[in-house]
Amino acid sequence: MKLFCRGGVFLKRLDAGYRLYHQGKCSLIFEDDEEIQVQVTSGSKDYLVSIVEGVARCNLCEDYEYRFQKHGNANNGSFLCKHCYAALFFIAELRGVKGSQSV
């Protein structure tokens, strides 16, 4: 299922994250008032996405690490990989967030 069929790398990551979420590849690992951790399974690997103070970080993801370091975003967390997007879709579902039904 393609969420976005046009666009650049950003939309491809967003689409890949949605597919992981839609396929049930996410599970809640931990949650408290300061942090949420979601496990995202992609291929044969499990990735841990941690969200602290509104910043999502992914462990073990080479794409995330490369972009994070390359763009100097180590302090602000502005890069999101497909695992981060999957985790955010999953958290939105847990919170009962509903998207628009019309496109």
Q: How far apart are CA 65 and CA 79, in angstroms?
A: 9
Taking only the tens place, the pLDDT of each residue in 24-52 is 999 999 999 999 999 999 999 999 999 99
SS3 call for 66: helix
Q: What is the DSSP letter of 79?
A: -
CA 99 to chain centre: 17
Please give the model's pTM, rounded to 2 decimal places. Answer: 0.79
- CB-CB neighbours of 51 under 10 Å: 19
Q: How far apart are CA 83 and CA 61, in angstroms?
A: 8
H-state helical runs in 1-103: 9-22, 62-70, 82-94
Taking only the tens place, the pLDDT of each residue in 54-66 is 888 888 888 877 7
